Amino acid sequence: MIDLHNPTAATAELEAQIKSDLVATEAIFKEQIKCLYETALDDGLVVIYPHVRADGDALGACIGFALILKAAGFDVIILSEEPIAEKFSYLSDMAVGLFYPVPESIQVQVDHQNGISEQYASTSETTWKISVATANESELASTEETKVDSSQAMSESLSHLNSILKRQVVGIALDSPGADRLGRRENMFEYAPRRFIIDHHPAERQLDQYYAKRTTASAVCEMIVDFVPLLEKIAGKSLVTPEIATCLLTGILTDTGRFSYTNTTSHTLESAAAMLRAGAQIRELTAHLFDTMSPARMQLIGLMAQRLTYYAGGKLAVSYFEQNDFDTCGAVETDTDGLVGMLREVAGVDVSLLLQVTDTGDLRCSLRSSDRFNVGQYAETMGGGGHRAAAGFTLFEMSLEQGLRQLTEHLTQQLEELRLD
């Protein structure tokens, strides 16, 4: 039974930690703002990088932050690994002219010792090689290696990407705790003369000068809400529009499960309230994000339920999707959003695991847990990461059968050793 009249010591400790973290990140935000005005206000380009398979927090933060910086007078673009998912298509209209998905055929390699970047873009028709010299050394050059008919679309993509990399003075990675979370664009980010990171994951990465991390934040969008007043003070004007508020509230809602997850804090609710005052419509957002389901998603839920198996006396719930399930159901990547959480909602379950065979034959593993088991730490041991209650990792070149056997045995052992009752 919940005792509403007896705040726990843990609550007081969390509130104190939030206040301390806010002070620390505010200092870094001020340094980031100073850097932006010193380097990017005139002719420089700010490039924002969401993580691969961008979710509501990554997309909301990147698009919202891009609109904020644009309103403050900065030239900004978002370099994404893939187009905006259909589930978040309402954000597309806000991102017109700002959102650029890097074509799948383009790869970037960086030789940090020599200061040279090389991009390779290959199609069935042509192979391109583009050498990118260090800043102020030379113009970006492109040469056609294979004398065959080229695609006009590819040529335009390469030209556009050249221009972006040439003008990039600040690269900003949002909601990206690890290098692999930027996918093919990691080297593009590393090529930026100045790099910002704004993140709320506990996982560590190499510290950059402008690394703002607050693990007590429910979402990066919550952190952007804190960033805005500091920028508004320097810009001398209000920057948040209803569109921006919608972007930022999207991330807060999706990362907190509309305020139902344990990462929801008093500061989270204060941030959401600020976005409501700025014009975000919470009923429309929650209806779209949580109360509407595609037929394909319903079919996936059925498959997941049919394959559900319990281990460790019911404390571990496991299910999976095979590679052809998406084609069979007509589903897309975002149709699986939140499904692993449904498994965790079963009474008696402390940890849920959902495996998905990718189109490359790897196993993508998603974990959710109660407060009693730290899946973030477990995911780190498997090469992934995340939060205490939500994490994930990928097992490369492993069959579904192998993955199921290995993970269920390992997690069962750990749960039994904890003796959760």
Give the model confidence (pLDDT) of 350-378 as tens digits: 999 999 999 888 999 999 998 789 999 99
With respect to residue 110, please indicate whether it lies within any of the assigned structural domains: no
Confidence of residue 132 (pLDDT cuts 50, 70, 90): very low
Supply the mean pLDDT for the chain. Answer: 85
Q: What percent of the chain has pLDDT over 70?
A: 83
Distance, in Å, from the CA atom of 345 to the CA atom of 347, rounded to the nearest integer, reads 6
Confidence of residue 129 (pLDDT cuts 50, 70, 90): very low
Verify that 172 and 44 share a domain, yes or no.
Answer: yes
Residue 276 has pLDDT above 70, yes or no: yes
Verify that 83 and 215 share a domain, yes or no.
Answer: yes
Residues in the chain: 421
Verify that 84 and 222 share a domain, yes or no.
Answer: yes
- The per-residue pLDDT for 144 is 38
With respect to residue 279, please indicate whether it lies within any of the assigned structural domains: yes
Residue 43 has pLDDT above 50, yes or no: yes
Verify that 78 and 23 share a domain, yes or no.
Answer: yes
Residue 137 has pLDDT above 80, yes or no: no
Q: What is the pLDDT of residues 156-175, one digit of tens each?
A: 777 778 788 889 999 999 99
Cβ neighbours around 91 below 10 Å, total? 21
Confidence of residue 41 (pLDDT cuts 50, 70, 90): confident
Supply 186's token pair.
Answer: 């990691």
Verify that 54 and 200 share a domain, yes or no.
Answer: yes
Verify that 276 and 307 share a domain, yes or no.
Answer: no
Contact 117, 165 (CB under 8 A): yes
With respect to residue 136, please indicate whether it lies within any of the assigned structural domains: no
Verify that 201 and 349 share a domain, yes or no.
Answer: no
In this structure, which amino acid lies at residue 121?
A: A
Cβ neighbours around 25 below 10 Å, total? 22
- The per-residue pLDDT for 149 is 40
Verify that 165 and 21 share a domain, yes or no.
Answer: yes
Domain residue limits at 368 = 295-418
Residues 194-221 have a mean pLDDT of: 86
Contact 416, 312 (CB under 8 A): yes
Q: What is the pLDDT of residues 94-116, one digit of tens each?
A: 999 999 998 876 666 554 444 33
- CATH number of the domain that residue 223 is part of: 3.90.1640.10
| Residue partners of 111: CB distance under 8 A and separation at least 6 | 117, 118
DSSP notation for 394-416: EETT--HHHHHHHHHHHHHHHHH
As for how many domains the chain has, the answer is 2
Report the number of secondary-structure helices (H) and strands (E) in the chain.
Answer: 13, 16
With respect to residue 386, please indicate whether it lies within any of the assigned structural domains: yes
Exposure on the CB side of residue 142, measured as CA atoms within 13 A: 17
With respect to residue 31, please indicate whether it lies within any of the assigned structural domains: yes
Q: What is the pLDDT of residues 284-300, one digit of tens each?
A: 999 999 988 899 999 99
SS3 159: helix
The residue among 286, 307, 335 that closes a domain is 286
Query: Between 11 and 114, where is the model more confident?
Result: 11
Verify that 261 and 323 share a domain, yes or no.
Answer: no
Nearest residue to 369 via CA among 335, 344, 395: 344
- CATH number of the domain that residue 379 is part of: 3.10.310.30
With respect to residue 132, please indicate whether it lies within any of the assigned structural domains: no
Verify that 218 and 350 share a domain, yes or no.
Answer: no
- The per-residue pLDDT for 5 is 56
Contact 46, 74 (CB under 8 A): yes
Verify that 243 and 318 share a domain, yes or no.
Answer: no
Residues 147-154 have a mean pLDDT of: 52
Residue 272 has pLDDT above 50, yes or no: yes
The residue among 264, 286, 308 that closes a domain is 286
The residue among 232, 260, 286 that closes a domain is 286
Cβ neighbours around 246 below 10 Å, total? 23
- The per-residue pLDDT for 130 is 40
Which letter does DSSP use for residue 321 in this model? E
Query: Between 24 and 162, where is the model more confident?
Result: 24
Distance, in Å, from the CA atom of 60 to the CA atom of 91, rounded to the nearest integer, reads 8
Rg (CA), the chain: 22
Verify that 173 and 321 share a domain, yes or no.
Answer: no
List the single range of 20-24, 147-151, 205-209, 233-237 with lowest mean pLDDT.
147-151
